[in-house]
Amino acid sequence: MVLLRRNEGKGRPCVVLVLDGSSEDHEGTLAATRALAGPRDRLHAVLLGGNRAASRDTLSRQFERAHLANVSLERCSDLAGVGHFLAQLNPGLAAIETAALERTSCGRWWRTHSAISCSSEKPRAMPAARALPLAPLAAVALMALAGSLASPASAVVGMPAFHLTEERDTLLDMAREHDVGYVAIRAANPRIDPWLPGIGKLVTLPVQHILPDAPHRGIVINLPELRLYYYPARGDVRTFPIGIGGEGKETPLGHTQIANKRPHPVWVPTKSEHEEEPDLPASVGPGPDNPMGDFALYLGWKGYAMHGTNKPYSIGRRDSHGCIRLYPEDIEWLYRAVAIGTPVTVVNQPAKVGWSGGELYLEVNPTEDDVDALETEGVPNSSEGIDADELVAKAAGADISRLDWYTIHLTEVRRDGVPVQVTRPVPY
């Protein structure tokens, strides 16, 4: 599916969902939308194609179960129709041309499946050579439109999302608004100026992730993607962007636990911090000058903690002395959710693979060296890819013949942190 966010009219946020018109079940997608959309967002649903789409009553009931109200519903037969609808909705949205829509996950899905017969006769598969538009596939996640929440058997969480820029937007502001890190949003949009992206640019929001290969319990931190995953005893996994230690002050790998937790912590600079800045005070109490923010979760490793920050724009960077920073709103939520004794696992997995909806996905993140280069230059440290071939082949198993090696190798080189489908769909 596609999520487009833009202020509509007098600053009211607008969310546009493009749904698979040939499916009658959108509950997973709508639940994911509720998790991302704000309480003031105005929702517009567009059913793309299909000749057996759900009735308005059926879809309305699905909206109700997802606790989404006041949703307008439109139907479009093709991508050009979607573009026309967006232009009618808001003249500023006319900047999205059909070519731009085709580059999104929805557009690639439509280009693939519109060549398949939707009649009552036996479906006709497109020729194998045209099964997938290869080059644009690596640009952003390709995902079945019918559902995007991770099911118990799914290793992919979140959904592809996009932000249509306005005049005053910056990548830093978009990162904070959508709960992603700065380097992550730069890696996903290497051709966009972070300070002056321009009006009407479609920015990929890296809010879809493959779960790390680690026990699904407690807290799991994957350093290369600068992201934390929390697996509660009940309910769905939650994930947050983080800031970690820089060169020479790396956050350690391994297993530990939450040893203590404290609101309004006192910051005591370490010896190395005093050596770098001799004028630092012996300690800083609670307040706006405290770099630990309002909440701290102390780890079993001496001198390390997960905490907030008084510099939110440091999230998604390697800028700490080894501690793990979170946005103020994220650490507050996590602080209330976790208990002392919660296990914590820190891993280093730049490449991750996982199955969702019968398809295999690959996500390749920047290396730790790339992160520093992305922050300053906007591009990874080198043009050499991360070799994930063995990882992908092992995960594919009996479906190895379905692997699209061109897309796999392109994803390894891009290292943009966006999950990409790397299996060719089974014709139907």
Q: Is 307 a catalytic residue?
A: yes
Among 414, 418, 416, 5, which residue's Cα sits nearest to residue 201? 5
- Of the residues 14, 76, 106, 323, only one is catalytic, namely 323
Which of 119, 82, 121 minimizes the C-alpha distance to 104? 82
User: Does the active-site annotation cover 323?
Assistant: yes
Is residue 269 within 8 A of residue 280, CB to CB? The reply is yes
Per the residue annotation, which of 113, 163, 307, 321 is the catalytic one? 307
Tell me the three-class secondary structure of 213-254, residue by residue: CCCCCEEEEECCCCEEEEECCCCCCEEEECEEECCCCCCCCE
Minimal CA–CA distance to 265: which of 244, 292, 289?
A: 292
Catalytically annotated residues = 307, 323
